[in-house]
Structure 1
């Protein structure tokens, strides 16, 4: 009996998550109601409230699951070796492709920018904790450098998602690595 309940619980949560993502692709989180969400998921409101306090709680849970997945991805790689860095980026991009609709939705204008900020903070913390800092004694320098790198990479990834992922994850990881490692010197070479 408990397996049946667990399956029902998983099904309910999955359907609610998919329904919220679908609604977010059409309108902002503040415009969505729990009633509308439940109708889309074909689940009654009392069932919804046994799992989540409101639709913002559901969104936060979706974001937290993705954040946990990203932390697991990042912690499984060493960031000191350039090839390892490219492979890690490629794996992250493959993860984004597997969850394409979710990322397209959570990184669009209809959603509160907290998801993007949360992803930036995870990546920035990882960089600061695992990357060989250029200025070992200057924490603010390292923070600014990691902010620069991460925000650039996230915006490139957002553009890639908006371009319907027209490059392979491998090609994108090589580009991001090249941009990160060579930055403005690439522009000078192309003049």
Structure 2
């Protein structure tokens, strides 16, 4: 039986599970070494409760990454909007910094590399929704909805893909330098929708 996501008890339990995971993460420093049993033991709930809220560990980790990313965006873009190139630059820098920060918990080995695409897709969905909302507001119906959606899709993957590649080897180039270059390219990609 599916749980009601709006039920306060459901929200509290999900938050308890996520908080327990975060506490474990502080000790173990590696998301892959934390099991569902570790999370439920720390949260003092049974495994059935975990599986009532999440299909599996993948779904849990996707939810965790999505919430963590949403919180970071809310901190740096308090009104959850992009109003100009300055706020777009802030958004891009936030993504680079977020990936650099979370990369420390993702020790890349063949066994755990299966989680990376999951995290990337969760972040891309959030980024796409934010860009789509902004572009719809900025275009004022002057271009087709399809072009706006395609632009948001391409730009979201472009920003995220660049940030992911950079986060794998951040010592090669400063984030600020990468962000400056990405912003130039993103601005050019936005031109047909923003004109």
Same fold (TM over 0.5): yes
TM range (shorter): 0.5 to 0.7
Structure 1 position 89, deviation (Å): 1.9
The 1:118/1:130 distance shift into structure 2, 3 A limit, reads: same
1:101 aligns with 2:104: yes
State whether residues 95 and 163 of structure 2, in contact with CA within 8 Å, keep that contact through their aligned partners in structure 1.
no
The 1:176/1:121 distance shift into structure 2, 3 A limit, reads: same
State whether residues 34 and 45 of structure 1, in contact with CA within 8 Å, keep that contact through their aligned partners in structure 2.
no
Aligned length: 163
The 1:157/1:133 distance shift into structure 2, 3 A limit, reads: same
1:89 aligns with 2:80: no
TM-score (normalizing by structure 1): 0.63
* RMSD value, Cα: 3.8
The 1:99/1:140 distance shift into structure 2, 3 A limit, reads: same
* Residue of structure 1 in register with 2:71 after alignment: 69
Structure 1 position 44, deviation (Å): 4.4
Unaligned runs of 5+ residues in structure 1 are 1-7, 27-31, 184-191
TM-score (normalizing by structure 2): 0.62
**Which is higher, the Rg of structure 1 or of structure 2?**
1
SS at match of 1:93: helix
Moved over 6 A (4+): 8-11
